[in-house]
Amino acid sequence: MEKLFGFVDQQIDRFLDELKTLLRLESISADPAKKTACATTAQWLADHLKAIGVRESRVIPTAGHPLVYGFHPGPAGAPTVLIYGHYDVQPVDPLELWTTPPFEPTIRDGKIFGRGTTDDKGQLLIHLKAVETMLKLEGKLPVSVKFLFEGEEEVGSEALTAWLPGNKELLACDIVLVSDSSMIAKGQPSINYGLRGLIYFQVDLETATGDLHSGSFGGGVANPINVLAELLASMKDENNRVTIPGFYDDVLEITAEEQANYALLPEGTAELLASSGAEMAYGEAGFTTAQRISARPTLDANGIWGGFSGEGAKTVLPARAGLKVSMRLVPNQDPKKIAALFKDYVEKHTPKAARLKITEMHGGRWFMCPLTEPALRKGAASLEEVYGKQCLFTREGGSIPIVADMAAVLEKPVVLMGFGLNSEQAHAPNEHFDLENFQRGIKTSLLYLHKLAQ
């Protein structure tokens, strides 16, 4: 391993130059004017795979931005690792807040600044440089490696989601490796083993054909705001538990092993108060803040409207009211089942006096890689060797739908080995990536691929 690590140290400036070349390509997936830039970036990656000695590589056109696929066989019988990343980036505005232009990568204070540095070009290139190092020095890889890069992660992964189920064989693997997330803190390696899922609804109520005079009609017809408020309030009890029957039936309780893991992490309240400005922590009784925001399901109104909210008083009895409401889901809640339970509850508890319309909006599955999964443990061991510190395991409250989809479609463990930092301004001006994590990331990746062969 020393020889490989030495090569990484010795070549790091060239690796950084290549990262800069990749960063200069303006692959903003949301911007139709950058369609060609996205295609150019995909082609650059396919060419780069070839250049570093990966046997097979090609651009796969889709209805949206292209995918990039690569494959290099390892020894017979060795496992196959599928490395996922995305080459598209977020838009760059507001441009005036960037210290240096987003597509002119610049190094200062041990960081590389530019759009896509931490999310996700810098993290993606880590694995290419690890593979290059092994092919150059050892002439072979310890495992078979497949690459899958997409250009629509920042806009919902539509093309990949559609393409995935029909290409299970091409993507057949034993482990999926994703570097598109953050570690807890600089110098403190961590692996994210869980993400929450999401379902989202709009509920519209109508009680009359138009707004009415509250003197002439008040008391005689239903008020949609009152109805909606009662309906919403009834969905939570005094312990902040969701009251929809069956909502918790399939929730996987936090295991003893996870409890022990949570004990190694901050309890979460201090961080929550500092970053939110909230008066106090508030949530489901019986759980810590860290658990509430990662391992427990939620139901939250995201918006509510109706009636008069202008200056002064208007004696109106509104005809319509509306609500946006979402639920974060955890293993093993089935989004379809919970969606049906929600609709059923709303239909049953809305008085006949109100016309009801429920619209289901976008959603995503939860994801979990069990703490006992050997591929996860080997990932942690690799991080520990390179960083010289115990690796922690985190569960996160957010959702990355494509990760959950890959886990579900390929039915293989997904290891989220993030080399970014939460402070690195992903999606914001002055996005950057820590150079030490870039270098250590390459070493971790090549060590990990060796460990997976054992």
**Interface with Zn ion (CB under 5 A):** 119-120, 180
- Comparing CB distances to Zn ion, the nearer of 18 and 120 is 120
Phi, psi of 87 (to 5 degrees): -95, -10
Residue 83 Cβ, how far from Zn ion at the closest point, in Å? 14
The residues, ordered by sequence, that sit 6+ positions from 317 with a Cβ below 8 Å of its Cβ are 208, 211, 212, 213, 214, 217, 218, 221, 223
Minimum CB distance to Zn ion, residue 89 (Å): 9
b (16+ CB within 10 A) / e for 318-353: bbbbbbbbbbbbbbebebeebbebbeebbeeebeee
Nearest residue (CB) to Zn ion, 180 versus 405: 180
How far apart are CB 423 and Zn ion at their closest, in Å?
16
Chain position carrying tokens 């293989």: 412
User: At closest approach, how far in Å is the CB of 398 from Zn ion?
Assistant: 12
The tokens describing 56, both together, are 């097979």
Nearer to Zn ion, 159 or 321 (CB): 159
Q: How far is the CB of 433 from Zn ion (least distance, A)?
A: 12
Q: Name every residue whose Cβ is closer than 8 Å to that of residue 348 and which is 6 or more positions away in sequence.
A: none
C-beta of 403: minimal distance to Zn ion in Å? 10
Provide CB contacts within 8 A for 18, sequence distance 6+. Answer: 48, 125, 129
Q: How far is the CB of 80 from Zn ion (least distance, A)?
A: 23
**Shortest reach from residue 181's CB to Zn ion, in Å:** 8
- Of 65 and 378, nearer to Zn ion (C-beta) is 65
Residue number with CB closer to Zn ion (29 or 439): 29
Q: Which is nearer to Zn ion, 70 or 418 (CB)?
A: 418
Instruction: Pick between residue 66 and residue 322 the one whose CB is nearest to Zn ion.
Output: 66
Look at residues 2, 107, 71 and name the one whose alpha carbon lies nearest to residue 438. 107
Query: What stretches of 143-227 adopt beta strand conformation (E)?
Result: 144-150, 175-178, 182-183, 190-195, 197-206, 212-213
By beta-carbon proximity to Zn ion, the closer residue of 119 and 258 is 119
What is the DSSP pairing of strand 320-329 with strand 197-206?
antiparallel
Which residue type occupies 36?
T
CA–CA distance, 159 with 124 (Å, rounded to integer): 19
Report in angstroms the alpha-carbon separations of 115 from 36, 73, 160, 303, 418: 17, 33, 22, 31, 17
How distant is the alpha carbon of residue 431 from its chain centre?
Answer: 17
From the CB of 123, what's the least distance to Zn ion, in Å? 8
Comparing CB distances to Zn ion, the nearer of 86 and 320 is 86
Bridge partners for 393 per DSSP: 191
Report how far residue 182's alpha carbon sits from residue 165's, in angstroms, rounded to the nearest whole number: 28
